[in-house]
Chains A and B, each alone.
Chain A
Amino acid sequence: MAGPVSRRQVLIGGGLGASAIVAAAAGMAPIRFEAAAESEHVHDEKPRQWAMVIDLRKCDGCKKCTEACQAEHELPQSFEWIKVFQVQDKQGRMYNMPRPCFQCENAPCLKVCPVAATFRVKDGVVLVDQDKCIGCRMCMAACPYGARYFNYNEPPKPTHPFQHKATPEHPVPQQKGTVGKCMFCVHRTADGQLPACVEACGMEAIWLGDLVEDVATNGHETVRLSQFLTDNDAFRYKEDLGTAPRVYYIAGHGQLLDTV
């Protein structure tokens, strides 16, 4: 697609004088970042801090969340940005565990990226700039949750024509040769909509929360987030790694909390 053209451009650019590009790029990068973050929170003084709560007592493993996510982001079948694992716990009972990106506060993927293509916006969501990603897949090696997906092939033809240019906040269509992942549908939350998976969940098992306002909703009910988490003994997956995930689980089928 755009491969040969941009390759040539890069080579020509490198030949013309790297220093000029360095200066330009260094100047441009932060501006872009600020602009992206600002546009989402024009009406807010404090940015929201998105979090997610997944109620494992309710999840029946129907994978509606995965399907909705794939439809929303025009992803192929193998791209399960929110993936539903079927787990057998230590007592031999089965339960389902959906795994979105955990938007870790201490994100290993963010630290290892050589070109800072992975970055965090003000509301705490970790995004990928696919115009910058070089496709080294170091972030996939670093992510302890396997939440990142690499576009080995050309993404499928979009089912409806796109009205916008792909951005980190709305990375549709995906770019071949780069990494993508769940981004809490920040293009939807910016418009006051719930993420596609939350909306699609018939069991009302997925909640979107805001740590600043201390609320969470699954689209039907609204709760006080901190209370909800304490009352239900919520846990975070592989919390001991120190990644500080923003996704909480509520156990309840008797599964051990240390499912690791």
Chain B
Amino acid sequence: MDRLARARYVERAVWPIGRGDRNFWISVAILSLAVLAGVYAWIYQLRNGLGVTGLNQKVSWGFYIINCVFFIGISYGGAMTSAILRLTNAKWRAPLTRIAEATAVAALVVGAVYPIIDLGRPDRFLTIPLYAQVGSPIVWDLVAISTYIVASFVFLYLPLIPDFAVALAALGDRSRFLGPLYRSLSLGWRGTPAQEKALRRGVGIMAILIIPLAVSVHSVLALLFAVTARGGWHSTIFAPLFVLAAMLSGVAAVILVVGALRRVYGLQEFIAAKHFRYLSYLLVALGVGYLYFMVSEYVTEGYLLESTTTPVLEAIFTGAYAPAFWAFSVGGLIFPLILAVAPGRFPIGRACIASVLVVAGMWLKRFLIVVPGMAEPIMPWDWGRYSPTWVEITITIGSAAAIPLILIIFFRFFPVMSVHEMDEVESAEPNPQPRLQPAYVGGGDD
């Protein structure tokens, strides 16, 4: 392969490492402020109780449960993107996998805090294992989420092992402090054929394992709703619907993070229109799948007009929640999918705008699942109301800011694009033919 191109690739991959320029510190300051505001709101809530939120006797789940499902969903999509690209051996994956895996971990760490934020007695959180009742969906969730946390950390860590050397070299004079840490984290990696083989196997196993794990996490999150007798929740399609929703929002989030980091870290040479086009195909495939599931759900429920589901469906389609619903289905699903795949100019910009819309739309969709399902008149005469307070809004904004904050700090210490992965993709070329450019380099449009 082209030695010069590889040198440029490594240079860009490690460019953010140890670099504390003005833009970096400004971003850290702004994001930290948002996170701190969120932490303050949480402390305020811990001191005063859930009474400071907009939750009430009727709508007792709100923003926190929505955010939990939303962020864990994004995490799932990040992990799946990487796993799918690895399993299908997509040659163009090298510059993307690290970003996808890091996004998965960052979103998961944020999402996993939400069940604790939502508790009325967070001080009793650690007593759950003591009394754990196996029949409770909450227990299923905690088991699934904590397993998934371990798995996604491993999934991020394994491909990172060979890159510690690259990162260490890039750290320069700072390597004196971090050197021992990096060396111990790299587990004595020297790149011997046996080590290469073990790593390939390990990453392969994780790529396969992460898929059923992520499916299970999101399925049991869906069961949290589906096992109740509430209209709009009690649906057999909920588990797969949640899994698809998670993948859709996750791929959109990956496109967004890739698009942002590409500019910030100057990766245009290696992450090109081609990558966005391929990711957009994935986005559209998932989006169409989601649309199909959603229509199936509403048609089955809406045709019979059962007494429990009818009020919810009315509220969503034509009632109080109709603006949110139509904003989601048109502006957050159908339009962005068309925008992402339509041929024409600015494929990257369009993919990014479409992803913003999809991510926002998927948050709205989770709102449309949780809140009307809670507010619906289960005793058929009273609708509940829910308007979040500053506490819930501040915590939500803070948690959203935590994801980019975690990412830019992470990439200040570790290569943003996997160097080893790129070497592997290049060397694994089955029929080495003379190429004009390496596989990872994106051409003009395609």
Residues on A with beta carbons closer than 8 Å to the beta carbon of B229: 108, 142, 144, 241, 243
Residues on A with beta carbons closer than 8 Å to the beta carbon of B154: none
A117–B133 Cα distance when bound, in Å, is 10
Residues on A with beta carbons closer than 8 Å to the beta carbon of B57: 78-79, 140, 146, 149-150
Residues on A with beta carbons closer than 8 Å to the beta carbon of B124: 6, 10, 115, 132-135
Binds B, one of A14-22, A66-74, A215-223: A14-22
For the complex, is B119 an interface residue (Cβ under 8 Å from A)?
yes
Q: Does A141 lie within 8 Å of B123, measured CB to CB?
A: no
A85–B125 Cα distance when bound, in Å, is 36
A151 to nearest B CB, angstroms? 7
Over the window 370-390 of chain B, the binary record of Cβ atoms lying under 8 Å from chain A Cβ atoms (1 yes, 0 no) is: 000010001111100000000
Residues on A with beta carbons closer than 8 Å to the beta carbon of B32: none
Q: Does A10 lie within 8 Å of B127, measured CB to CB?
A: yes
Residues on A with beta carbons closer than 8 Å to the beta carbon of B55: 150, 152
Q: Does B379 lie within 8 Å of A85, measured CB to CB?
A: yes
Contacting residue for B128 out of A26, A114, A149, CB 8 A: A114
Residues on A with beta carbons closer than 8 Å to the beta carbon of B137: 112, 138
A141–B232 Cα distance when bound, in Å, is 12
Residues on B with beta carbons closer than 8 Å to the beta carbon of A115: 124, 127-128, 130-133
Residues on A with beta carbons closer than 8 Å to the beta carbon of B121: 133-135, 177-178
B146 to nearest A CB, angstroms? 14
For the complex, is B228 an interface residue (Cβ under 8 Å from A)?
yes
Least CB separation from A176: chain B residue: B49
A13–B142 Cα distance when bound, in Å, is 20
A7–B119 Cα distance when bound, in Å, is 13
Residues on B with beta carbons closer than 8 Å to the beta carbon of A241: 229
B51 to nearest A CB, angstroms? 4
Least CB separation from A9: chain B residue: B123
Residues on A with beta carbons closer than 8 Å to the beta carbon of B128: 114-115, 134
Q: Does B129 lie within 8 Å of A134, measured CB to CB?
A: no
For the complex, is B343 an interface residue (Cβ under 8 Å from A)?
no
For the complex, is B166 an interface residue (Cβ under 8 Å from A)?
no
A242–B374 Cα distance when bound, in Å, is 21
A246–B128 Cα distance when bound, in Å, is 30
Residues on A with beta carbons closer than 8 Å to the beta carbon of B318: none
For the complex, is A11 an interface residue (Cβ under 8 Å from B)?
yes
Over the window 129-141 of chain B, the binary record of Cβ atoms lying under 8 Å from chain A Cβ atoms (1 yes, 0 no) is: 1111101111100
Least CB separation from A11: chain B residue: B126
Residues B94-141 near A (CB distance < 8 A) = 115, 118-133, 135-139
For the complex, is B321 an interface residue (Cβ under 8 Å from A)?
no
Q: Does A138 lie within 8 Å of B120, measured CB to CB?
A: no
For the complex, is B50 an interface residue (Cβ under 8 Å from A)?
yes
Q: Does B123 lie within 8 Å of A7, measured CB to CB?
A: yes
Residues on B with beta carbons closer than 8 Å to the beta carbon of A146: 57-58, 378-379
Q: Does B381 lie within 8 Å of A14, measured CB to CB?
A: no
For the complex, is B230 an interface residue (Cβ under 8 Å from A)?
yes
Residues B331-349 near A (CB distance < 8 A) = none
For the complex, is A227 an interface residue (Cβ under 8 Å from B)?
no
Q: Given A112-B227, A176-B49, are A3 and B131 also a contact pair (CB < 8 Å)?
A: no
Q: Does A260 lie within 8 Å of B308, measured CB to CB?
A: yes
In the complex, how many residues of chain B place their beta carbon closer than 8 angstroms to a beta carbon of chain A? 48
A133–B51 Cα distance when bound, in Å, is 17
Q: Does B60 lie within 8 Å of A141, measured CB to CB?
A: yes
Q: Does A177 lie within 8 Å of B120, measured CB to CB?
A: yes
Q: Does A86 lie within 8 Å of B381, measured CB to CB?
A: yes
A10–B225 Cα distance when bound, in Å, is 29
Q: Does B49 lie within 8 Å of A152, measured CB to CB?
A: yes
Residues on A with beta carbons closer than 8 Å to the beta carbon of B133: 113-116
For the complex, is B56 an interface residue (Cβ under 8 Å from A)?
yes
A152 to nearest B CB, angstroms? 4
Residues A13-52 near B (CB distance < 8 A) = 13-14, 18, 21-22, 25-26, 29
Q: Does A14 lie within 8 Å of B126, measured CB to CB?
A: yes
Q: Does A108 lie within 8 Å of B228, measured CB to CB?
A: yes
For the complex, is A137 an interface residue (Cβ under 8 Å from B)?
yes
Q: Does A177 lie within 8 Å of B50, measured CB to CB?
A: yes
Q: Given A138-B138, A138-B224, A177-B49, are A22 and B123 also a contact pair (CB < 8 Å)?
A: no
Q: Does A135 lie within 8 Å of B138, measured CB to CB?
A: no
A243–B378 Cα distance when bound, in Å, is 14
Residues B207-255 near A (CB distance < 8 A) = 224-225, 227-230
Q: Does A152 lie within 8 Å of B136, measured CB to CB?
A: no
Q: Does A114 lie within 8 Å of B138, measured CB to CB?
A: yes
A146–B380 Cα distance when bound, in Å, is 11
Residues on B with beta carbons closer than 8 Å to the beta carbon of A79: 57
B130 to nearest A CB, angstroms? 5
Over the window 151-193 of chain A, the binary record of Cβ atoms lying under 8 Å from chain B Cβ atoms (1 yes, 0 no) is: 1111000000000000000000000111100000000000000
Q: Does A112 lie within 8 Å of B138, measured CB to CB?
A: yes
A51 to nearest B CB, angstroms? 20
Q: Does B129 lie within 8 Å of A114, measured CB to CB?
A: no
Q: Given A85-B382, A108-B229, A112-B138, are A137 and B131 also a contact pair (CB < 8 Å)?
A: no
Contacting residue for B378 out of A10, A11, A144, A151, CB 8 A: A144
Q: Given A85-B382, A86-B381, A108-B229, are A137 and B120 also a contact pair (CB < 8 Å)?
A: yes
Q: Does A138 lie within 8 Å of B308, measured CB to CB?
A: no
Residues on B with beta carbons closer than 8 Å to the beta carbon of A149: 57
Least CB separation from B115: chain A residue: A136
Q: Does B130 lie within 8 Å of A25, measured CB to CB?
A: yes
Q: Does A142 lie within 8 Å of B228, measured CB to CB?
A: yes
Least CB separation from A149: chain B residue: B57
Residues A56-105 near B (CB distance < 8 A) = 78-79, 83, 85-88, 99
9 tightest CB-CB pairs across the interface, nearest first? Answer: A135-B120, A7-B123, A177-B120, A114-B138, A152-B51, A153-B51, A115-B131, A114-B136, A144-B229
7 contacts across the A-B interface (CB closer than 8 A)? A11-B126, A13-B126, A21-B130, A86-B381, A140-B60, A142-B228, A151-B120
Given A114-B138, A137-B118, 19 other A-B residues pairs in contact with their CB atoms under 8 A = A3-B46, A10-B125, A14-B126, A22-B130, A85-B379, A86-B381, A87-B380, A108-B228, A114-B128, A114-B133, A114-B142, A132-B131, A138-B136, A141-B374, A150-B57, A152-B49, A152-B55, A152-B56, A177-B50
Show the binding face of B for A, using Cβ within 8 Å.
46, 49-51, 53, 55-58, 60-61, 115, 118-133, 135-139, 142, 224-225, 227-230, 307-308, 374, 378-382
